[in-house]
Chain A
Amino acid sequence: MKIALFLPCYVDQFYPQVGVATLQLLQKLGCDVDFPLSQTCCGQPMANAGFEHLTQGCNDNFVRAFSGYDYVVAPSGSCVLHIKEHLHSTENEAEALRLRHCVYELSEFLTDILKVESLPARFPHRVGMHVSCHGQRGLKLSQMSELNAPGFSKPGALLAMVEGLELIELDRKDECCGFGGTFCVSEEAVSVKMGNDRIADHLRHGAEYIIGGDVSCLMHFEGLLRRQGSTVKVLHLAEILNSE
């Protein structure tokens, strides 16, 4: 089973520790992981701004970079959702369609493919889990609060395996953080207010850490927390699951 690690471009550049934690976690679980160096980006930044028609080069590059791997795993619900919904290739459409089906967000790869039942992780802290909208409502990583349907949570199931971790309940289970791609700058006022409200929900319930499956949400939180001089930290799910 050949697995390719796919890292969102901003994770590669600004949050390498998330990439390292994802890599180590997968290796710990016995996976043969490669990082194709020719990867760049999923194309979502352009597409969500209305310019999906400019993403063909990006798409073709993605297909070339990840062609032939059994699975593509990324520590990001948002990028994975974009690939699943929009990947096309001018050179090899069959491979693009195959890749759509074998690209996985980290937590769903662990629960659905590796069927992980225990982890050697320890994290003795009170943490709040912010589920990213694309991970949750797009990839259905956990049940959505709007629906009358049985509850479940893939990241939640994994966190339950972490020794000492105390998961707090939030007042609003799955409210958006307000990052939203270019929204975070084009609609700065609302974006910041949404982020601060989301953080306040975590703080009200005594979170020491805000964790999530998408670095984009976390980067938004971190920017706000640091500006406020808060001691609350953000961590990616992979970093918790890889902790010892």
Chain B
Amino acid sequence: MKTNIPDHATASVAFNRDESYVDWHDETLWFVRQKRDRAAMALPEWEDLRETASQIKNHVLSNLDGLLEEFERKAQANGITVHWAVDAQEHNQIVLEIMRGAGAKQLVKSKSMLTEECHLNPFLQKHGVEVIDSDLGERIVQLRGEPPSHIVLPAIHLKKKDIGELFHKYLGTEKGATDPQYLTEAARQHLRETFLTRRVALTGINFAIAETGGFVVCTNEGNADMGAHLADVHIASMGFEKIIPKTEHLGVFLRLLARSATGQPITTYCSHFHRARTGQQMHLIIVDNGRSAQLGRPEFRASLKCIRCGACMNTCPVYRRSGGHSYHNAVAGPIGAILAPNLNMRENADLPFASTLCGSCSNVCPVKIDIDKQLYLWRQVLAKEGYISGVKEAGLQVAAKVLASPTLFKWTFRTGRMVMRTMPFVVGNSLNPWFDDREMPTAPKESFRQWWEKIREKANAEEVKNVEAFEKLK
């Protein structure tokens, strides 16, 4: 674990201190899941679309080099300057160089989880560049000095009261005002000023089209467009897995993306960029930052199919009750838990365990990533690589030995000494966490096998009906 950053379980304890707050958080996200369900159920072809999207992405992973080269060629022909960044540091440096080249000290940025992953904002600030996030939710968390807690709904952990106080402090709204309409209007005015004065805009990329050398950016607010169309320089950053082969594939992905994310039939603005407008410069940065390593892990490479819809977070019963910040990673929730260990196993070893492996995430995933299977497999990798506590391992080794031997098994249960240690709910742990809020199961007079042995003995002597024996047992 990172020093000073609590692990998922510890952060969850803090998150759960106020039960009414957890209920609110859970209900709010469940509401989004329900909207997604209604949108998905309205399309009879929904499952066919998911399968098709999954197959397109499987092809993409198998032909990434070819597609990226084709994309680069076409994009350059479109007049776009294409940059390649091996890691976060290089990406950030490229952005800084472009800023310097433009002689600009201020950047307006629409939503890009990649730049969160690269920690671009603190880097630029350190080099004297002011960054303003223009997505309302991102602006809110930026003003609070926090990372987003959700990839689609960055401020979903905050109540309107919190945002009212924040805007009163920073945007001069009336004290005590909490009306979302009023607060949004204040942000609109504040950010309109930003859009009009920034000469460099950075956007993320939802899809890059190899066939045409262009890219698509989707927003509901219109902030990416406001930034890009008013700036002299447009920088677009993408993880290399955002590439798709053809324009026609956009039909599949745009049908799935917003329905999965928020239950909308499509995102309000799906903007297709191919060439800079007259007098404008367009830069595009293709970023690896660990993705090629993940590509090389056969059991985990499917995580690169992700289109960042956030559906797995909304459906995750753990995410809804622990909040995005408990995952201490740019991408939270189930998908974050399978992406993060690739970047740093030691710091993120807790995340694959922040799940009951219920499997709901894989079922809502529009590109059919086997998220729950990968959570299970990451646990195996982390254990083998030595990132699980020795105490836990020792306990499990004892359990493994006992459970491999019928004699030992019988003996331990009979004597009762190690009963609890071999129970699935206590392996490698003290008994206390169970008992904090739950009673222990009461031990019956005899176990099933004792009862079975008894009735078998009796059956040899006389015919005994099982029903009677059961009555005795009770």
Contacts and interface: CB of A to CB of B under 8 A. Distances in A.
A46 B399 contact: yes
Interface of A: 7-17, 19-21, 23-24, 27, 35, 37-41, 43-58, 60-61, 65, 133-134, 137-138, 144-149, 172, 174-176, 178-195, 197, 216, 219-220, 222-224, 226-227
Nearest to B354: A187
Contacts of A8: 424
Contacts of B380: 47, 50-53
B370 to A, nearest CB: 11
Contacts of B142: none
Interface in B343-378: 353-360, 362-364, 372, 376
Interface residues of B, number: 90
Contacts of B469: 20
A37 B452 CA distance: 9
A58 B364 CA distance: 34
A10 B403 contact: no
B117 interface: no
A230 to B, nearest CB: 11
A44 B16 contact: no
A19 B469 CA distance: 13
Contact of B441 (A7, A14, A148): A14
Contact of B427 (A13, A45, A147, A222): A45
A44 B425 CA distance: 11
Interface of B: 8-9, 12-13, 15-16, 19, 22-23, 26, 30, 37, 40-41, 43-44, 46-47, 315, 317-318, 321-322, 353-360, 362-364, 372, 376, 379-380, 382-384, 388, 392-393, 396-397, 399-406, 409, 413, 419, 422-429, 433-434, 436-444, 446-453, 466-467, 469-470, 473-474
Rank and list the top 6 A-B pairs by shortest CB-CB distance, nearest first: A57-B404, A223-B438, A180-B356, A50-B383, A146-B363, A50-B379
Contacts of B437: 188, 192, 223-224, 227
A49 B379 contact: yes
Q: Is the interface of A mostly helix, strand, loop or mixed?
A: helix
Given A9-B422, A182-B425, A192-B436, A48 B400 contact: no
A55 B447 contact: no
Given A16-B446, A148-B40, A187-B12, A57 B428 contact: no
Contacts of B355: 180, 183
Q: Is the interface of B mostly helix, strand, loop or mixed?
A: helix
B314 to A, nearest CB: 11
A105 to B, nearest CB: 16
Contacts of B438: 192, 195, 220, 223-224, 226-227
Given A9-B403, A45-B399, A223-B441, A194 B473 contact: no
B473 A219 contact: no
A40 B9 contact: no
A87 to B, nearest CB: 14
A198 to B, nearest CB: 9
B43 A12 contact: no
Contact of A187 (B9, B41, B358): B9
Contacts of A60: 404
A41 B356 contact: no
Contacts of A46: 396, 399-400, 403, 427
